[in-house]
Chains A and B, each alone.
Chain A
Amino acid sequence: MFWSFSSLAESTIIKEETTTKIASEWRLFNRNIDSFFTNQPYLVAENQSTLSAYSSFYLKEGQKLQTIYDLEARFDLPRTTKKLKLVIEKEKDEVIKATTDENVATKNVPTNYSAGVSYLLTQSKYFSSLLRFGLRLEMPLNPSIKVNVSKDIKTEHFDIGLFQKLILYRQEGFQEISQVSFYKKWNEIFQSDLLNSLVWTDQSDTFIFRNNLILYQHIGNEKALTYSVGANAKLSPNFYYDVYDASVSYRQLLYSKWLYGTFTLGADFPKASGFHEENFVQLRIEVFFQ
């Protein structure tokens, strides 16, 4: 799927089934929730639930050290029929996710719990469309409706991903995210992803355009380097680049099959400060269960 291209390299590292006790408990918990809705057992292999908790230390030039602790979780309840699924998740705001460097996306980005029902409209090997009704854990109530359409096109030289997301929140109003990606696996070591996103929200009432070139380098057993350069532009009143960013991240498995560490070194170049570099470092410790 298109959306997953940018994290494909990381996924190849982290998608290994863990046999730890926490993972077993996690599956058991999901099974209980699932049987609550369906009264049917399911195979563990069908469960796509994930749990990730992290602690991040982010230091930017001229700013105080930011320490961020957060949790991202997804309860995927597979027996709530093949097409209709109940998903409970805690995730980052989709618009912020689409307009920031994924390696440092933890800075000042709130995550929200939400529960929703997803209905798979169509699915084939290279095309899928999805409708989701959800409710964020917040007051006053903030129900939402989301439509996702994605298409992958395989060519001889690279894969093209097309992704369109339309979101309507009762509180924030309408949001749209359009993405086009060009993904290429050069060899067993290098992969690249050129990601182009166009985002519009009712709240900002302006389009934001982002180009992001990412190069993944697999450097051995459970170790990877990611090089990223990106630029964000605004389309009103005129087209202009608002901020540039660049980063290098080193990610390594630290313990067993579930504890990861990521060290990122990078810089932002915002227009507001005359495109002068604002360096940052980030250390992120993460536990991941699937």
Chain B
Amino acid sequence: MSYFFALLILLTTNCFAETKHFLLREGNIAVLAPPVVNKDYYLLEFGFVIQKKIKAWDYNYNAYVNAALFEDWKDRSDNLHAGALGFKAGVLFPVPTIPLFMKVGGGYAKTVLHKNPIFGKSDQSVDKRDMLLLELGALYSFDHYFVSFTYQKSNVRYFTRNTFLAVGVNY
């Protein structure tokens, strides 16, 4: 209950107006989750970000749309990799007073289970699925750069990695 009142106090104060100082600037974003940091996983995202506002609360936030390519072979012993190509969209809600964002997003991708999901031949695919993706996470920005931690859940079982760390740039 105390959290609810704390949230209520936050909503009724004007500290939300400060959020505009921390927003990612409107333009492009590129995200990389390298396999060095994330074992048996990599991700590339490229897209654009815009600024939005909830006028009633004077609360500013970002929205983004990215094209995404990622590959996951965590805990696999059969030499197969899961690959996906698709789109992600979501919102970044800044926390007042610090450049930290809460990320909520979703996505759609075409996926394949294959020995070489990027450059392989389509008729050698072991499985193919359409993926619906839900993502929750946090993003911390330093000037034009940011790091993010993401938890993701999808309807495709051969993607086993649920969390990843990524770095990105806003330009």
Query: Which residues on A are within 8 Å of B, measured CB to CB?
Result: 32-33, 35-36, 39, 115, 137-142, 171
Bound Cα distance A36, B65 (Å)? 10
Is A141 in contact with B121, judged by CB distance below 8 angstroms? Answer: no
Bound Cα distance A14, B164 (Å)? 47
Bound Cα distance A12, B135 (Å)? 44
Question: Most A CB atoms within 10 A — which of B83, B110, B111?
Answer: B110
Number of B interface residues, CB 8 Å?
Answer: 24
Given contacts A32-B50, A33-B48, A36-B48, contact A137 B122 (CB under 8 A): no
- Which residues from B are CB-within-8-Å of A115? 67
Main secondary structure of the interface of A (DSSP, over half): loop
Is B116 in contact with A138, judged by CB distance below 8 angstroms? Answer: no
Is B83 in contact with A140, judged by CB distance below 8 angstroms? Answer: yes
Bound Cα distance A140, B126 (Å)? 11
Query: Which residues on B are within 8 Å of A, measured CB to CB?
Result: 27-28, 47-48, 50, 65, 67, 83-86, 110-112, 114, 116-122, 125, 128
Bound Cα distance A244, B117 (Å)? 40
The chain B residue with its CB closest to the CB of A141 is B118
- Which residues from A are CB-within-8-Å of B86? 137
Bound Cα distance A35, B121 (Å)? 35
Selected from A39, A137, A140, the residue in CB contact (under 8 A) with B119 is A140
Q: How far is the CB of A151 from chain B (nearest CB, A)?
A: 35
Given contacts A32-B50, A36-B48, contact A138 B119 (CB under 8 A): no
Is B122 in contact with A32, judged by CB distance below 8 angstroms? Answer: no
